[in-house]
Amino acid sequence: TQSTIPSSSSQKQHYYGQLKLAKKASEQEYFAIVNQLKKVDRYTDVYPTFIDPDGIPVGISSLFNVELQSSGDYELLTQVANTYGAIIVRQNEFMPLWYTLSSTESALDMAALFYQTGYFSETEPDISMIYPLSCPTDEFFANQWGANNTAQMGGSAGVDIKLCGALHQTRSTGAVINVAVIDQGVDFSHEDLDMSSYPPIQNHDIVTGGGNMIRGPHGTAVAGIIAARENGKGITGVAPWCRLMSVSVPFIGWATPEISMLAADAINWAVDHGADVINNSWGAIKVPSLDKAIARALAFGRRGKGCVLVFGAGNGGYRTDVEYPANDNPGVIAVGAVTQCGTRKDGAIGCTDNGEGYWFSSYGPQLDVMAPGTLVPTTDISGEPGYTPDKYIQNFWGTSAACPHVSGIAALILSKNPTLYGYEVCNIIESTAQKWGPYVYANKAGRPNGTWHEQMGYGVVNASAAVAATQRVDVMGILYYLNISNH
């Protein structure tokens, strides 16, 4: 493959290609090949390509970047560049203290030499990561704009959670993460929710004390967004290799007796039975018992590292308050719903109508992030108990749909590094969010993870960036440690 990099210092275009050796070369053979290639007139530079821990090729070029300490240091940059035979290629349009330079010497060496002068804030070699993205081929994945938005639903291309990149980094690797779905129960007989490849995990009905009970289709729809298998059928969940735990609660209407205490019991049960992430696509009336159950999960879940609790912000009409419990428990992640156009779901404005103009994603000072919440394809209970006669619904909506996208991302992060504390997972999700929409994001007291806006939080979650920002650990070493500590 070839790409061009324009240069202000020359009218020539610079082309980069990859050369793969037919067999593994020794160090001596490698340098002999490099020297031979350098003698070819049309090859100006030859550099190695490295393979990162995820198996992704990482290349360097003749370019490196330098950050000035102040805008008055350009002359100093020119002097140092002349000393080392480097050429100033361009100034960064958005970060004017940053300059890109080129050199016939190693970019790694040049970045180090410039930094060692002590004259500059930062230097770095140009790193080019080549992601041969492989998107799922499941039947309805093409409709999942929230995973990979190509404007297929009339929105804006690119407004999505970058799922293909995240799955490329995590596919078939990492720890098995348990995601509890506190909801109306999950249909595990569904072809896309088969958990049989993992050791069984206990499911629970909070009323009867027995196993999983299905009281409606909502929980199955939520579960599909989190963990529908990448199996060629239906849809692909955000974390298709995680393990689901169903904790069923009678969320069948506002008149359900003791519903807040039952929800608290469900959270406590999930914590005590191994949940790593707890998805809560529901709201409730504020009561101390529910607050204390949430606090317990944040403090004592996952052997003291804290569960990741994800709540929907609510579909609150014109109200400007995030709904409870998301609005009164700062350790949880409060998730709003974004449309395929990159705007908060706000009635029938522009492409946000989607035939769902009677609801609005709640917002306000407690909002953390946004995720896809309109026209979301997901799993459904077949027949009369479900939303449709089919096994899938193509237009699930609400912050109920947005919330499980974030739970899935939390599971991906923990699968790469299960030693993280719950709050660290939240920080990664928030700090890697994308700033979509016609909103002016700004720094705000109490919001340390980047710029923020009351209608969008930190922005639209980015699964690929979140996984990339997570440091991988040796999973086998962790499992060995945990096994030893249990004896």
DSSP E strand stretches across 318-463: 333-338, 369-372, 376-379, 392-396, 442-444, 447-452
Mean confidence (pLDDT) of the chain: 86
What's the pLDDT score for residue 400?
96
What's the pLDDT score for residue 111?
95
The active-site residue, picked from 45, 160, 183, 187, is 183
Q: How confident is the model at residue 36 (pLDDT cuts 50, 70, 90)?
A: confident
What's the pLDDT score for residue 54?
44
Length of the chain: 487
Residue of 51 and 212 predicted with greater confidence: 212
What's the pLDDT score for residue 104?
83
What's the pLDDT score for residue 466?
95
| Average pLDDT of the residues in 368-374 | 97
Query: Around 9, how many Cα atoms within 13 Å sit in the side-chain half-sphere?
Result: 13
Is residue 352 within 8 A of residue 343, CB to CB? The reply is yes
What is d(CA 214, CA 224) in angstroms, rounded to the nearest whole number?
Answer: 15
| For residue 418, cis peptide bond before it (omega within 30 degrees of 0) | no
Give the closest residue to 225 by CA, choosing from 338, 342, 376, 326.
376
What is d(CA 24, CA 432) in angstroms, rounded to the nearest whole number?
Answer: 37
Q: Which of 49-58, 153-162, 176-185, 393-402 has the lowest mean pLDDT?
A: 49-58
Q: How confident is the model at residue 34 (pLDDT cuts 50, 70, 90)?
A: confident
| Average pLDDT of the residues in 434-455 | 96
Q: Which of 32-41, 230-239, 289-298 has the lowest mean pLDDT?
A: 32-41
Phi and psi angles of residue 244, each rounded to the nearest 5 degrees, phi first? -85, 145
Tokens linked to 277: 């992430």
Q: How confident is the model at residue 438 (pLDDT cuts 50, 70, 90)?
A: very high
What are the chain's domains?
4-129 (no CATH), 141-485 (3.40.50.200)
Does the pLDDT at position 11 exceed 70?
Answer: no
What's the pLDDT score for residue 147?
96
Which region, left, alpha or beta, applies to residue 352 given φ > 0 means left and ψ of -120 to 50 means alpha?
alpha
Q: Which of 155-159, 168-172, 301-305, 483-487 has the lowest mean pLDDT?
A: 483-487
The active-site residue, picked from 168, 190, 204, 218, is 218
**Angle (CA) 402 406 412, round 5°:** 145
Does the pLDDT at position 366 exceed 90?
Answer: yes
C-alpha of 293 from chain center: 26
Q: Is 183 a catalytic residue?
A: yes
Q: How confident is the model at residue 89 (pLDDT cuts 50, 70, 90)?
A: very high
The Cα-based distances of 419 to 97, 265, 415 in angstroms read 37, 26, 9
How many CB atoms sit inside 10 A of residue 10's CB? Answer: 11
Residue of 334 and 44 predicted with greater confidence: 334
Q: For 100-130, write each residue's pLDDT tens digit.
A: 999 988 888 899 999 999 999 999 998 876 5
Q: How confident is the model at residue 321 (pLDDT cuts 50, 70, 90)?
A: confident
Q: What is the percentage of the chain residues whose pLDDT exceeds 90?
A: 65
Residue of 85 and 1 predicted with greater confidence: 85
What is d(CA 76, CA 463) in angstroms, rounded to the nearest whole number?
Answer: 40
Is residue 360 within 8 A of residue 318, CB to CB? The reply is yes
Give the closest residue to 157 by CA, choosing from 165, 166, 148.
148
Does the pLDDT at position 172 exceed 90?
Answer: no
Q: Is 400 a catalytic residue?
A: yes
The active-site residue, picked from 103, 248, 400, 415, is 400
What is d(CA 222, CA 381) in angstroms, rounded to the nearest whole number?
Answer: 12
Does the pLDDT at position 487 exceed 60?
Answer: no
